[in-house]
Amino acid sequence: MGFRLGIPRKPREAEVLDVLIIGAGPAGLSAALYSKRLGLKTACVGENLGGTLNEAGIVDDYIGIQEIFGPELAKKFIEHVKKYDVPIYMDSVTEVAKENDLFRVSTKSGTVFKARTVILAVGSRRRRLGVPGEAEFAGRGVTYCAACDAPLFKDKVVAVVGGGNSALQSALLMTSYATKVYLIHRRDSFRAYDVYVKSVTNHPKIELVLNSVIKSIGGSKSVEWVEVENLVTHEARKIEVEGVLIEIGSEPPKEFFARIGLKLDEYGYVVVEPGQKTNVEGLFAAGDCTGGPHKKKFDQVVTAVAEGALAALSAYEYLVKRGVEKGEVGY
């Protein structure tokens, strides 16, 4: 269902949009807002209205809005876009193909969109541990973003899971707030820069729990403990913690990107140039799904929103530069 009352009508076969936005998280909603404000005929299609904000606990780093739950912030974004009457279709895109100067976008439900430009804002998915208690305590002690949630764990004991740069950086950040940090990693060495390894190894607040994995997360109303198994001795123990930060990486839908013909970086993220341009002319990308040498990788709501706005502006400039006659762009 679209976020307007009722279900948005399906596009007519001959109907051509100025811009179709794929993704309905912060980047996609921002792109929708700015595209419509720029006078472009706009529609949005996405699987998850609100994106990863729906998984967030308290958000306290979006400027001007203090201590708001992720789903509530998503609702504010949606209501703002609703003001501009942009139709959103809750659907899964299966194919994006360029035919002459138009994009043909097909969805799982069988809907076909035609658009002069496309903004890709599908985000990425945080890898999960897949253990009992992880889903139940999401937003109640289980988090996937240290930069977002570290202040919520002030004067608490937390566990950080992972062994890469992000995990070690997150553990160090947590020490600014938490009284103690358990760093749990399945191997006996880290896949991170030496400077981070030395820092966590020597930090008085960090206790390393190596060759170990979390088997379950438990508590009553919020996280109270994790069960950890040593992979060498097979011994299990419970560690009392009030938070669990899972930093085992994220994955973009790189197979989908490859089918479109997009240039990807070594991690599978869409390579963007300044202005959120991709290697496919007329196709722009924004938010957590992007990477490459011109991208400062900092997956935050504020950066996703900014990139969505820039992608909308670039789509508008692309259409104007191509000499689309006045009255043909927009309504």
- Cα–Cα nearest to 88, from 74, 78, 103, 102: 78
Over residues 188-211, the mean pLDDT reads 95
Q: To which residue do tokens 């998915």 refer?
A: 125
- Alpha carbon distance 247, 225 (integer Å): 18
What is 259-328 written as a DSSP string?
A: HHT--B-TTSPEE-BTTTB-SSTTEEE-GGGEESTT------HHHHHHHHHHHHHHHHHHHHHTTPPTTT
**Euclidean distance between CA atoms 284 and 268, whole angstroms:** 16
Which CATH architecture fits 17-124+252-321? 3-Layer(bba) Sandwich (3.50)
pLDDT at residue number 221: 94
Reply yes or no on whether the pLDDT at 9 is more than 70.
no
In the chain, domain spans: 17-124+252-321, 142-246
Percent of the chain's residues with pLDDT above 90:
75
The residue type of 146 is: A
Question: DSSP string spanning 168-210?
Answer: HHHHHHHTTT-SEEEEE-SSSS-BS-HHHHHHHHH-TTEEEE-
**Using 50, 70 and 90 to split pLDDT, how confident is the model at 273?**
very high
Local structure of 68: helix, strand or coil: strand
Structure tokens at 33: 């807002």
pLDDT in tens, 72-89: 999 999 999 999 999 999
Least reliable range by pLDDT among 23-27, 177-181, 247-251: 247-251
Q: Show Cβ contacts of residue 83 under 8 Å, excluding neighbours closer than 6 positions.
A: none
Distance CA 22, CA 139 (A): 26
The predicted structure's pLDDT at residue 282: 97
Question: What pLDDT band is residue 2 in, cutting at 50, 70 and 90?
Answer: very low
Mean pLDDT on 265-287: 96
Which of 160, 44, 128 has the alpha carbon at shortest distance from 93? Answer: 44
Which pairing describes strands 180-184 and 142-143: parallel, antiparallel, or unpaired? Answer: unpaired
> pLDDT by residue (tens digit) across 301-325?
999 999 999 999 999 999 999 876 4
- pLDDT of 4 > 60? The answer is no
d(CA 193, CA 8): 50
pTM: 0.74
What's the token pair of residue 186?
A: 């399945």
What is the mean pLDDT of the segment spanning 107-120?
95
Same fold, 17-124+252-321 and 142-246: yes
Tell me how far apart the alpha carbons of residues 178 and 157 are, in angstroms, rounded to a whole number: 6
- Name the pLDDT band for 68 (thresholds 50, 70, 90): confident
CATH number for region 142-246 = 3.50.50.60
Cβ neighbours of residue 224 under 8 Å, at least 6 residues apart? 218, 240, 241, 242
Has residue 249 got a pLDDT over 70?
yes
pLDDT in tens, 138-191: 989 999 888 778 899 999 999 999 998 889 989 999 999 999 999 999 999 998
Side-chain-side CA neighbours of 245 within 13 Å: the count stands at 31
